[in-house]
């Protein structure tokens, strides 16, 4: 079978994608100054590429699948298929101006807008009726105002870097996170589509496993019905009789966020010997 050719972004996305592959069962190793990671699956072939280029290269057909931000997919307009929102590396694309600049003043002149997102910026500025010129940047966009730009359109996770550079956010344009995307040609290939679906299943299992824990507890027979009724679980709890018919062992997989309130409630309902386990994968 022909290998599935995958593009993995360099930069901030790489670490999260590398960890995802490792937890899915395919450890990834990248030697210094190389762009061809070694991956523990003989049917996968990986290459490092900037996230800005991933969508267009998939559309061209030189690769089958890849990871990039939703912001870069929208910026490039690439005709690809998004198969999974991985939910990490979340950022907002925002418009920001010098803190002292009056909003009305921006509407009265032709402004200079510094951004890496020329297409996204152009559409948004037109929709707001600005007269503008876009200056494309290649990093460090926040340093352009006030000398070289009146406004920037850039990504931010917390907004702190913008504040530190004397800027204030005037509009949120879009939200972005890392997406797993594939080419239309790969999805039309039966064997490659099957491999892609396997990866999606494993990635989802890892992400769901990160979000849940397993709670195991013992409960006396007399308290069992009260405890088991209404327990949160993905389907229904796993129940096994204890030695000597002295009660039951109960296992449930629950969201991590539910645990602080759930354990005291379980204790009041008669649960004992409560143990919490981390989960590696959960296949729903």
Percent of the chain with pLDDT over 90: 79
CB count in 10 Å sphere of residue 184 = 12
- 118 and 256 in one domain? no
Residue 204 is assigned to a structural domain of this protein:
no
Is 184 in the same domain as 241? Answer: no
pLDDT digits (tens, 9 = 90+) for 238-254: 899 998 888 999 999 99
pTM of the model: 0.87
Q: Which candidate, 278, 157, 284, places its Cα nearest to that of 211?
A: 278
**Could you tell me what percentage of the chain is helix, strand and coil, using 3-state DSSP and rounding each to the nearest 5?**
35, 35, 30
How many residues are given for the chain? 284
Residue 49, classed as helix, strand or coil, is strand
What are the backbone angles phi and psi of residue 93, rounded to the nearest 5°?
Answer: -95, 120
Q: Is residue 193 part of a domain?
A: no
Q: What is the mean pLDDT of the chain?
A: 92
CATH number for the domain spanning 147: value is 3.40.190.10
Has residue 83 been placed in a domain?
A: yes
Tokens of 226: 């009260």
Residue 196 maps to a domain:
no
> In this structure, are 9 and 76 located in the same domain?
yes
Q: Residues 269, 230: contact at Cβ < 8 Å?
A: no
Question: Is pLDDT above 80 for 236?
Answer: no
Predicted confidence (pLDDT) at residue 122 exceeds the cutoff of 80: yes
Q: How many domains does the chain have?
A: 3
Q: pLDDT class for 235, splitting at 50, 70, 90? A: low
State whether 74 and 183 are in the same domain: yes
CATH number for the domain that contains residue 254: 3.30.70.120
Asked if residue 184 and residue 169 are part of one domain, the reply reads: no
Mean pLDDT calculated for residue range 144-163? 93
In a domain, 167, yes or no: yes
Asked whether residue 83 falls in the same domain as residue 115, the answer is no
Cis-peptide, bond into residue 78, ω within 30° of zero:
no
In a domain? residue 102: yes
Does residue 8 share a domain with residue 81?
Answer: yes
Q: Residue 284 falls within a domain, yes or no?
A: no
- Output the six-digit token pair for 21: 């592959």
Domain that holds residue 184: 4-87+177-188
CA terminus-to-terminus distance, the chain: 29
- What average pLDDT score do residues 46-70 get? 95
Domain assignment of residue 194, yes or no: no
For 104, the token pair is: 């009305």
């Amino acid at each position: 079978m022909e290998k599935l050719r995958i593009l993995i972004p360099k930069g901030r996305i790489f670490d999260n994608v590398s960890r995802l592959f490792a937890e899915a069962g395919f450890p990834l190793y990248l030697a210094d100054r190389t762009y061809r990671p070694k991956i523990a699956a003989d049917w996968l072939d990986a290459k490092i590429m900037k996230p800005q280029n991933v969508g267009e290269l998939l559309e061209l057909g030189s690769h089958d699948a890849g990871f990039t931000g939703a912001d870069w997919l929208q910026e490039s307009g690439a005709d690809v298929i998004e198969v999974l929102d991985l939910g990490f590396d979340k950022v907002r694309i925002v418009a920001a101006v010098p803190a002292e600049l009056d909003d009305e003043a921006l509407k009265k002149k032709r402004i200079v807008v510094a951004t890496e997102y020329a297409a996204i910026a152009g559409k948004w500025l037109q929709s707001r009726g600005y007269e503008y010129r876009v200056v494309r940047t290649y990093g460090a966009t926040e340093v352009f105002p006030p000398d070289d730009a009146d406004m920037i359109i850039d990504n931010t996770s917390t907004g702190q870097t913008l504040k530190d550079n004397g800027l204030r956010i005037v509009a949120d344009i879009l939200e972005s996170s890392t997406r797993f995307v594939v080419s239309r040609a790969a999805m039309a290939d039966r064997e490659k589509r099957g491999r892609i679906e396997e990866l999606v299943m494993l990635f989802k299992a890892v992400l769901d496993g990160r979000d849940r824990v397993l709670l195991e507890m013992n409960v006396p027979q007399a308290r069992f019905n009260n405890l088991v009724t209404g327990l949160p679980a993905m389907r229904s709890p796993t129940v096994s009789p204890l030695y000597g018919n002295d009660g039951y062992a109960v296992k449930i997989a629950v969201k991590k966020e539910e645990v602080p309130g759930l354990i005291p409630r379980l204790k009041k309902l008669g649960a004992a010997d409560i143990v919490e386990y981390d989960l590696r994968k959960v296949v729903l």
